Amino acid sequence: MTKERKLSGITVVEGKGLGKAYIVGRAVQQSSVVSISRQDVGDHIMRFNEIRERAKEDYRSYQKNFDGTSSFDASILNIYEHILDDPAFIGQVVETITTKLFDLETSIRLVSNDFIKRFNAAGTSYFKERSGDMVEICEKLITYIHENKGRQKTFLDSIVLVVLRTFTPSDILSYDVHKIKAVVSVSGGKTSHAAILARSYSIPVVSGIHNITERIHPGDELLVDADKATVFIRPTPTVINKYVELEKKETVVRKTLKKKWDRPVYTRDGVHIEVLANISMPDDINDATANGADGVGLVRTEYLLSNKKEFPSEEEQIKFYKSIFKKIGKKECVVRMMDIGGDKIPEFFQMPTEFNPFMGWRAIRILLERKDLFEMQLRAIMIAGQQYNYKIMFPMVTTLQEWIESREVIKEVSKKLKMDVPKCGVLFEVPLAILEMDTFIREIDFASIGTNDLLQYLSAADRNNPKVNHLYNPIEPAFIKIIKTAIDISKDNGTSISICGEMAGNPIYTILLLGIGLKRFSVIPRNIPIIKELISNISYVEAAESASHLFAIDTSSGVNKWIKRVNKQMVGDLLQKIPTFE
């Protein structure tokens, strides 16, 4: 029981947290069925109405806590109210109590499960989301029933919510957010409402942990390292002390570097390197400016608009893009057209069920078919960007033909708006496109490499699947060669190229990437100061000289040794100061 265990999952929200396990989410699991006598029917129905009203009041009070600056769309709380007032839901619970003579809890569970099954069977993402809402309602109502039986919310100061099902907003809203140090859940994606909310409170989340009840018990000490998608159960004092010390060190280093790097960076031998920000959530733009971004190299627009219930209107989009452009001011901002599909299905988009979504209908493939959406987004970006230094990037382009068709749409829209054709580029993340870089490069204004997807397609290893993580390795020699060739082709053609996949934001790879000629990094805002500090300590010429030996190495473990050696030689002291990257 007391032995430390380590579980691996999937990072949903980055960060680290330490606290006691607090298990939530048993509600929908059907346990025993409790029968009542006929004379108790009235009481149970009355109690049902009381707790429904109480739940509605609670949701209304949560809604007041949002002042519009948070990225969480509080209108989801209205949906909960609608469900609580839904005659079909109320009718079925009352009927179950009256005709089957089951108690209130059993009846709520049975009816909720029935709704959940039907929503899931409908197959569309919209109904799947409603099934999550139903879990939420069921959970909430049953919590009230138990509260009266004396079950209390936690008095613990630091808790890690362990969610036995899909993680929902109420899991956070029902507790004091300052007490929640992390969340571990069975499932829950990066774009779920719950993840959006957790992110706005800086609560780390790891999902994809199975058989939780067999592994984690209430009150167990948990150390969640979401940066590494790891959960330590009952960590030893040594591991905890190490974590506390690392946290302290990291906070001090990050603070100092953030202050220092609100300016451009040059390598030790004077080569200017741009470090731009990747923005996924609306609030990230504030982090980008606070961390000294030289601009924005990737705006993931499908996330920014993902908490909307309906496809955002052109006006809404214009307002939204303007707010980003305004904050980044004169600096460059690369807006990526919506990359819908794969694991990113915004609520406003009805996707067909696909057997293999990452290989399916995604990004530019959708936009070329849904020209209405394509043109609307283009118009909105262009109208919003009139006074600003923006560029537009196209995700998942596979063939030159697709690019030629896309360019026709851009020209057409520009003509209608009587505006100049904006600078447009391609996100190289599909093998066919990057292997055809020398043709593409003559047709585009700029290039960026999406290493996250490119690597999963080249290695045939799902980027979200820990089982094949060993194959999803950015330092595989063949992968480095492909990136280097793309950088060389862009340079020879005088076209700018960046990397905006996660690889660029990992300080371990900074020397390697500089060495193969990268001069534009686009990274998560919080890592900008670290990357700049490293760059300022590296000589571009020396990095290139070292990297010239890289191509004689033919295994990833060989490359790993090379990285360790050059990192130690060139920036060893620095990397040691930043504990996460030791």
70 makes contact with ligand PEP (CB under 6 A): no
CA distances from residue 369 to 246, 372, 374 in whole angstroms, order as listed: 49, 9, 9
Restricting to residues 447-486, name those near Mg ion by CB under 5 A: 450, 453
Q: Which is nearer to ligand PEP, 425 or 450 (CB)?
A: 450
Q: Which is nearer to ligand PEP, 260 or 481 (CB)?
A: 481
103 makes contact with Mg ion (CB under 5 A): no
Q: Which is nearer to ligand PEP, 300 or 526 (CB)?
A: 300
Restricting to residues 481-510, name those near ligand PEP by CB under 6 A: 500-501
Q: How far is the CB of 452 from ligand PEP (least distance, A)?
A: 3
Residue pointed to by tokens 């009352």:
94
Among 162-170, 224-232, 321-329, 451-459, which window interacts with ligand PEP (CB under 6 A)? 451-459
CA distances from residue 377 to 107, 315, 327, 345 in whole angstroms, order as listed: 46, 10, 20, 17
Q: Which is nearer to ligand PEP, 122 or 359 (CB)?
A: 359
Build a one-symbol-per-residue string for 408-447: x at contacts with Mg ion by CB under 5 A, - elsewhere.
Answer: ---------------------x------------------
105 makes contact with ligand PEP (CB under 6 A): no
Q: How far is the CB of 395 from Mg ion (least distance, A)?
A: 6
Q: Which is nearer to ligand PEP, 25 or 395 (CB)?
A: 395
Q: State CA 160 to chain mean position distance.
A: 20
DSSP string covering 490-545: HHHHT-EEEE-SGGGG-GGGHHHHHHTT--EEEE-GGGHHHHHHHHHTS-HHHHHH
Among 163-171, 187-195, 450-458, 552-560, which window interacts with ligand PEP (CB under 6 A)? 450-458
Long-range CB pairs of 81-84, under 8 A, 24+ apart, other chains included: 81/56, 83/133, 83/134, 83/137, 84/52, 84/55, 84/56, 84/137
What is the spatial distance between Cα 76 and Cα 193, in angstroms, rounded to a whole number?
A: 8
If binding means CB under 6 A, how many residues of this protein chain bind ligand PEP? 10
Is residue 453 classed as helix, strand or coil in its secondary structure?
helix
What is the spatial distance between Cα 131 and Cα 125, in angstroms, rounded to a whole number?
A: 10
Buried b (16+ CB within 10 A) or exposed e, 370-385: eeebbbbbbbbbbbbb
Among 91-99, 130-138, 404-412, 445-453, which window interacts with ligand PEP (CB under 6 A)? 445-453
Which residue type occupies 132? G
Restricting to residues 287-306, name those near ligand PEP by CB under 6 A: 298, 300
Q: Which is nearer to Mg ion, 331 or 463 (CB)?
A: 463
Q: Which does 451 bind (CB under 5 to 8 A by kind): ligand PEP, Mg ion, none?
A: ligand PEP
136 makes contact with Mg ion (CB under 5 A): no
Q: What are phi and psi of 19, to 5 degrees?
A: -175, -175
What is the spatial distance between Cα 233 and Cα 544, in angstroms, rounded to a whole number?
A: 44
Give the one residue of 171, 453, 533, 542 binding ligand PEP; rule: CB under 6 A.
Answer: 453
**Pairing state of beta strands 332-336 and 390-394?**
parallel
- What is the contact surface with ligand PEP in residues (CB under 6 A)? 298, 300, 339, 429, 450-453, 500-501
- What is the contact surface with Mg ion in residues (CB under 5 A)? 429, 450, 453
